[in-house]
């Protein structure tokens, strides 16, 4: 009798976007059952696998965005069994186009234990009285850019319409706005570059590993004077990392360490086998009906891996940098986005976090 491997996703777990997949999985299993007439053995194996799945530490982490290759390391860690080796049953979720990871982690219906946030979002959240701890850091550099749709220097476009994504608060843009009194009129949009290309906004905040590539794919020319790179202008602050609630971290320190190690394995494997890693990532895109092409995802992964490198040491370090935390504190305090410093020790869970309400603007 052929060995029926335990399903990756148990039918006890319903994934809203994968309803069809779960149904197909069950249908296949029943077909196999009928073909080999080993219902009892199958049931036993299934029960054992379910127990095995249930026995592992379940950990639901929500990515920062809809499925893309900037989460490849996590997909790889799951598909290659690194999480399983670490005794973890990691489930990867994604926010919807008009929802955010924040909601998935903090809302009651969210159901996620962890989320991928940028450093500044995490700091603002902590200062807002919602303690978070960084358990794993991928980004070592800022990818944010401002691009003008009108062929001008974004810093000269005072009062312009600034397009920003709804997925996460764009702190650097706000900081720049306040510093230079740009008085941008903020337009929040869900996705894509059509708002930019149609010139419904004058400037847009973009990341170098996605929207900028989309603009190139659309044949949009970006002369240097129309682009403002935060990393090149003293605002090089790390972005995405995995954060859990402080109380969760305190109760699951060992698991978080294992998660970090397995995730690191996933990313290092990705860096060493980019083509195979891309195959895994494309599978996740297809599963979530995310339409994209391999060419742009290849370039995206290349840029993501570049941004994971500490430009000073040339290495992927997978850690928060205290100097960048200090810089973020200074910038956000100057822009009155933080009432207090959020320390490096707080972020890595080595110090208790004090909650103070955050008195800055909302969307």
Applying CB under 8 A, the residues found at the interface with another protein are 16, 96-99, 103, 161, 166, 187-190, 192-195, 197-201, 213-214, 216-219, 289, 291-293, 295-296, 298-299
Name residues whose C-beta falls within 8 Å of residue 70's C-beta, 6 or more positions apart in sequence.
Answer: 64, 209, 210, 240, 300, 301, 304
CB of 288 to another protein, least distance (A): 11
For β-strands 144-148 and 241-245, DSSP reports them as: unpaired
Q: Which is nearer to another protein, 16 or 361 (CB)?
A: 16
CA-CA distance, 77 to 90, in Å (whole number)?
Answer: 9
Q: Which is nearer to another protein, 192 or 223 (CB)?
A: 192
Q: Which is nearer to another protein, 143 or 214 (CB)?
A: 214
Q: Which is nearer to another protein, 62 or 347 (CB)?
A: 62
Tell me phi and psi for residue 110, to 5 degrees.
-60, -50
CB of 185 to another protein, least distance (A): 10
Residues 173-192, buried b or exposed e (16+ Cβ, 10 A)?
Answer: bbbbbeeeebebebeebeee
CA-CA distance, 195 to 183, in Å (whole number)?
Answer: 20
Tokens of 80: 């290659």
CB of 166 to another protein, least distance (A): 5
Let me know if 64 is exposed, middle or buried by CB neighbors in 10 A (0-12, 13-18, 19+).
Answer: buried
Q: Which is nearer to another protein, 24 or 54 (CB)?
A: 24
CB of 229 to another protein, least distance (A): 20
Q: Which is nearer to another protein, 28 or 98 (CB)?
A: 98
CB of 305 to another protein, least distance (A): 15
CB of 97 to another protein, least distance (A): 4
CA-CA distance, 39 to 57, in Å (whole number)?
Answer: 29
CA-CA distance, 45 to 4, in Å (whole number)?
Answer: 8
């Amino acid at each position: 009798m052929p060995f029926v491997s335990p399903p990756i996703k148990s039918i006890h777990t319903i994934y809203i976007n994968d309803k069809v997949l779960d149904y197909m999985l069950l249908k296949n299993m029943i077909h196999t059952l009928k073909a080999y007439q080993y219902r009892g053995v199958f049931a036993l194996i299934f029960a054992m696998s379910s127990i095995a799945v249930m026995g592992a530490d379940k950990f639901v982490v929500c990515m920062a965005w809809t499925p893309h290759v900037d989460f490849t390391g996590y997909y790889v860690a799951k598909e290659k069994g690194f999480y399983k080796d670490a005794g973890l049953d990691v489930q990867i979720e994604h926010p919807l186009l008009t929802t955010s990871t924040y909601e998935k982690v903090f809302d009651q219906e969210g159901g996620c234990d962890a989320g991928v946030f940028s450093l500044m979002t995490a700091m603002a959240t902590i200062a807002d009285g919602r303690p978070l701890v960084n358990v794993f850091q991928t980004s070592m550099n800022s990818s944010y850019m401002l691009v003008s749709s009108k062929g001008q220097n974004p810093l000269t476009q005072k009062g312009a319409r600034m397009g920003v994504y709804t997925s996460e608060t764009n702190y650097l843009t706000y900081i720049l706005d306040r510093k230079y009194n740009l008085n941008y009129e903020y337009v929040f949009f869900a996705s894509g570059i059509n708002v930019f290309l149609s010139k419904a906004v004058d400037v847009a905040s973009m990341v170098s590993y996605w929207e900028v590539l989309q603009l190139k794919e659309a044949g949009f020319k970006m002369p240097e004077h129309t682009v403002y790179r935060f990393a090149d202008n003293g605002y090089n602050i790390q972005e995405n990392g995995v954060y859990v609630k402080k109380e969760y971290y305190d109760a699951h320190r060992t698991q978080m360490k294992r998660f970090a190690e397995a995730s690191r394995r996933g990313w290092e494997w990705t860096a060493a086998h980019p083509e195979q890693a891309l195959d895994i990532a494309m599978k996740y895109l297809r599963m979530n009906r995310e339409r994209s092409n391999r060419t742009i995802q290849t370039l995206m992964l290349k840029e993501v891996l570049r941004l994971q490198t500490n430009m000073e040491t040339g290495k992927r370090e997978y850690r928060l940098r205290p100097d960048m935390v200090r810089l973020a504190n200074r910038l956000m305090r100057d822009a009155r986005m933080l009432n207090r410093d959020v320390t490096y020790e707080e972020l890595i869970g080595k110090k208790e976090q004090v909650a103070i309400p955050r008195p800055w603007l909302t969307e």
